[in-house]
Structure 1
């Protein structure tokens, strides 16, 4: 299966061809960039693997004819690639090169997230034409969402093999995973979490991709809430919230920042954070009621 838009398909194909190389290239790149621990634009310590994966994807995606902007969690500003992203058949690509890279030290799951926007960045999630993620697990898999469908692939040798064409959240939810330190949760969110933990099984691995993939597989809810110390939460809207929200909504679920769909949030700057909740629609509705 290929994506109908040839430019979008070339972007997706470039990321999928790069995925195996990225996973193999993590070996020997588990430490910080330098002894002082250089930080990315939002204050996270950059690992050598973060910068390497960003450079690899940035070089390859920026060279594609239909890419007008490349933006990454590791760079302070979007890179203009030549074509105007406001014109037809030219897209902006926002990437989290290594989601959950802090898991490198313990050798646990991590991934790559991408969103393809039909508008200059920063942009609302409603302007996404496709989004996806690569999960570097025991098997390297890729989930791609477009306006038509959500599909899952296995990646090997630079090729992708279709596993499921029309991926949908199961109707009966099974798992949940919530981020942030419990003492820093708001009272309203903690009350909701205590209800959910009586109903579902905890699955939280420290990388959003792994947790969201479990929600897509088994049904349930993932959330990184607004905290008492950080009401805006931790996750970045352009690189994480919007792409994951788009995927889950296309798979029949819902996304929310606690009040509305993540895709409806107006971004003010490229590294803007937002609370992120995705999962089965009834669980998200209950969450919004609890936080109201």
Structure 2
């Protein structure tokens, strides 16, 4: 991720995720965030709400729940940058959930399974989070082609489990191949 600083987050597996920050004067990445762990629960959600009318009922109900649900006197905060890398980085570090669900224009999802969803799902799971399509673990998908797409909800374990509960409730109304 590149912004006011240039960050590199990497995992080699073994439930260990490390974050490095570029030191421009040295031209090297320095370990600044060792052993990143995603909080079990977060109060931030990241989704393009401009697509609300095109979502399935489970996704609408989940986002409505987040907008109305209070924990400790405060509601969930919406933070959507529009860059998967930046949105997932914030979710990884602070908790909450990132979502890019299916919609009526993108019935298989919009993000590519192999080179967008899989890497971020793996990173998230290695940091203690979860990643789902709503009803299926993202990393359990078997792609049929290099450009296959899938829906994704990833982030804090408890937040993702709540998404799965909504999809279970609405499962009779879903037509997605990702059930």
Size of the aligned set, in residue pairs, is: 158
The alpha-carbon deviation at position 202 of structure 1 amounts to 0.7
Match of 2:33 in 1: 164
1:205 aligns with 2:87: no
In 2, the alpha carbon distance for the partners of 1:244 and 1:290 equals 22
Worse-superposed segment, 265-274 or 191-200: 191-200
Match of 1:175 in 2: 44
Higher RCO (Cα < 8 Å, 6 or more apart)? 2
Say which of 116, 120, 143 aligns to 1:244.
Answer: 120
In 2, the alpha carbon distance for the partners of 1:214 and 1:175 equals 9
The unaligned stretches of length 5 or more in structure 1 are 1-134
1:256 and 1:278 in contact (8 A); partners too? yes
Supply the RMSD in Å over aligned alpha carbons: 1.4
The unaligned stretches of length 5 or more in structure 2 are 69-74, 169-179
Deviations 1:34-60 (A, max 9, x none): xxxxxxxxxxxxxxxxxxxxxxxxxxx
Deviations 1:8-31 (A, max 9, x none): xxxxxxxxxxxxxxxxxxxxxxxx
In structure 2, the residue corresponding to 1:222 is in which secondary structure? Answer: strand
After TM superposition, the structure 1 = structure 2 runs for residues 182-201 of structure 1, keeping only pairs within 5 Å, are 182-198=52-68, 199-201=75-77
After TM superposition, the structure 1 = structure 2 runs for residues 206-221 of structure 1, keeping only pairs within 5 Å, are 206-221=82-97
Work out which of the two has the higher radius of gyration on C-alpha atoms and give 1 or 2. 1
1:175 and 1:214 in contact (8 A); partners too? no
In 1, the alpha carbon distance for the partners of 2:33 and 2:79 equals 23
In structure 1, the residue corresponding to 2:111 is in which secondary structure? Answer: coil
In structure 2, the residue corresponding to 1:181 is in which secondary structure? Answer: helix
2:40 and 2:158 in contact (8 A); partners too? no
In structure 2, the residue corresponding to 1:136 is in which secondary structure? Answer: coil
In 2, the alpha carbon distance for the partners of 1:197 and 1:281 equals 19
In 2, the alpha carbon distance for the partners of 1:186 and 1:145 equals 33
TM-score, normalised via structure 2 length: 0.83
Match of 1:277 in 2: 153
Say which of 163, 166, 171 aligns to 1:290.
Answer: 166
